[in-house]
Amino acid sequence: MSRPLAVICLAAGLGKRTKVSLPKVLLPLCGRTLAQSALLATAPLEPARVVVVLHHQKDKVQKALTESLAGTFGRLEFVDQGAPKGTGHAVQVAMQALADFRGDVLVVYGDCPLITTQTLYELCELRGDAPCSVLTAFPEDATGLGRILRDDDERFIGIREHKDCSDDELAIDEINAGFYCFDSEALRPALASLKPNNAQGELYLTDVVATFVQRGAEVPTLQAEDASEITGVNSLVDLALARALMQERILWEHLQNGVLIVDPSATWIDHGVTIGADTKILPGPVIGTGCAIGSHCEVGPFAHLRAGTVLEDGAEIGNFVEAKKTRMGAGAKAKHLTYLGDAVVGAKANIGAGTITANYDGVHKHETRIGARAFLGSGTVVVAPSEIGDDAMTGAGAIVKRGSKIGPREVWVGVPARLLKQRELAPAKEKA
């Protein structure tokens, strides 16, 4: 950015229409919250200041954003709007925290998670020497959205809130997206002049823009190429629609990077997942934030990979297998009906159907270590912490007690499992 940038994120709304107790801006969306997604879109712009305006359940929202965005920005600043009195009032409160700031002020929304960095960058660059720039869009349904007013020469002359529109103005299909980039020095006096002269008795941020136009200033507008970017989430129906759009973006990125997703319509992958080229994703998997999958792997069908799971190159996780905080070595396989929690599985190990690492003792989680080329028979239960050596084997239905250490090539069977013999390995094939 050519000028210093401050971001104001409006996240004080009550969210009554969601009908859930969770603050609206903390609703989940593909491994992030709504507000986290909105703020992350601003991060590549390298803002000097980021101010989040809160009120409803402010302590919970502040804690969640501070934790989820740790290390993303130099510092997040939070202000309490108090009783919300409109978008203009929210920005007034935020600008009090930015009293010493000079530069661009970008306004975004904690319930608009689909906005992209590129659009925000273009909006800021567009402002130039103007007092502000305005983002517009042409959605399929403009109901409830403010309309963009233009003169006969198509120059921007104002914004009319939906509830204040005449019948002719309601027929306009270009809407105000609500995202603005302001010159801080122009914004302050315009905010101070706001009056609640509208049907809701609120202070509208759109009236700030109107002030600039009335003073004869040119206000440039940017049309969002994809109207879905400005989608706001006000209900759980909106959330479901936003999730479908965000999921499509995530899947398309993996497809473009050489990941074979057999059926994108039946695949759930969160943000923050890395997948190598030539990996095949079969239908029905759920892959959560914080998973890393190498190349030439296979996942699914109906697998569940949770945070901290790593599949090294060539590893395979199959039908109805759940893995949490587990590392599968190169070429290791767990193909059927298995739970692997807090486990380290060596290269080319084979985990039989129905195997469970019993990692939780009711108070703490414990780790299971399974060596390279180990073979666990169907229905094995390994009570953690335990270790299974390289090339070791368990018989079907074996119960490996807590604290067990199965040595290399040892075969253990029974309930509880006991040493039976040393495993005989096939001689390695000599290369021609």
State the Cα–Cα distance between residues 4 and 224, nearest whole angstrom: 23
Stretch 398-417: mean pLDDT, rounded? Answer: 98
Strand duo 418-422 + 410-413: pairing? antiparallel
Q: Supply φ then ψ for residue 179, to 5 degrees.
A: -100, 135
Residues 130/33, Cβ–Cβ less than 8 Å: no
Comparing C-alpha atoms, which of 162, 17, 190 is closest to residue 92?
190
CA distances, 270 to each of 32, 274, 287 (Å): 8, 10, 6
Which pLDDT does position 1 carry in this prediction? Answer: 64
- CB count within 10 Å of CB 175 equals 24
pLDDT over threshold 60, residue 432 = no
Which pLDDT does position 84 carry in this prediction? Answer: 84
Strand duo 292-293 + 310-311: pairing? parallel
Comparing C-alpha atoms, which of 63, 65, 47, 52 is closest to residue 1?
47
Q: Supply the pTM of this predicted model.
A: 0.92
pLDDT digits (tens, 9 = 90+) for 121-172: 999 999 999 999 999 999 988 888 899 999 999 999 999 888 888 888 899 9
Which pLDDT does position 425 carry in this prediction? Answer: 84
SS3 at position 80: strand
Stretch 88-108: mean pLDDT, rounded? Answer: 97
* pLDDT band (50, 70, 90) for residue 316: very high
* pLDDT band (50, 70, 90) for residue 35: very high
Residues 178/230, Cβ–Cβ less than 8 Å: yes
* Count of residues in the chain: 432
pLDDT digits (tens, 9 = 90+) for 326-344: 999 999 999 999 999 999 9
SS3 at position 183: strand
Which pLDDT does position 428 carry in this prediction? Answer: 66
Residues 39/65, Cβ–Cβ less than 8 Å: yes
Q: Could you give the residue numbers annotated as active site?
A: 336
Which pLDDT does position 427 carry in this prediction? Answer: 77
* pLDDT band (50, 70, 90) for residue 272: very high
Mean of per-residue pLDDT scores for the chain: 95
Which pLDDT does position 254 carry in this prediction? Answer: 98
The H-or-E segment that residue 186 falls in is helix 184-192
State the Cα–Cα distance between residues 327 and 274, nearest whole angstrom: 14
Which pLDDT does position 430 carry in this prediction? Answer: 60
Percent of the chain with pLDDT over 70: 98
Which pLDDT does position 143 carry in this prediction? Answer: 87
Which pLDDT does position 429 carry in this prediction? Answer: 66
Which pLDDT does position 277 carry in this prediction? Answer: 98
State the Cα–Cα distance between residues 19 and 95, nearest whole angstrom: 31
Stretch 96-109: mean pLDDT, rounded? Answer: 97
Comparing C-alpha atoms, which of 226, 227, 243 is closest to residue 29?
243
Q: Class of the 5-230 domain? A: alpha beta
The tokens 């009570």 sit on which residue?
383
Stretch 183-209: mean pLDDT, rounded? Answer: 90
List the domain boundaries for the chain: 5-230, 256-422
Q: Domain 256-422: what homologous superfamily?
A: Hexapeptide repeat proteins (2.160.10.10)
Residues 123/135, Cβ–Cβ less than 8 Å: yes
Decide if 5-230 and 256-422 have a common fold. no
Residues 359/341, Cβ–Cβ less than 8 Å: yes
* pLDDT band (50, 70, 90) for residue 395: very high
- CB count within 10 Å of CB 141 equals 9
Q: 234: which 2 tokens?
A: 């006000």
Spell out the long-range contacts of 400-407 with Cβ–Cβ below 8 A and sequence spacing 24 or more.
402/361, 402/366
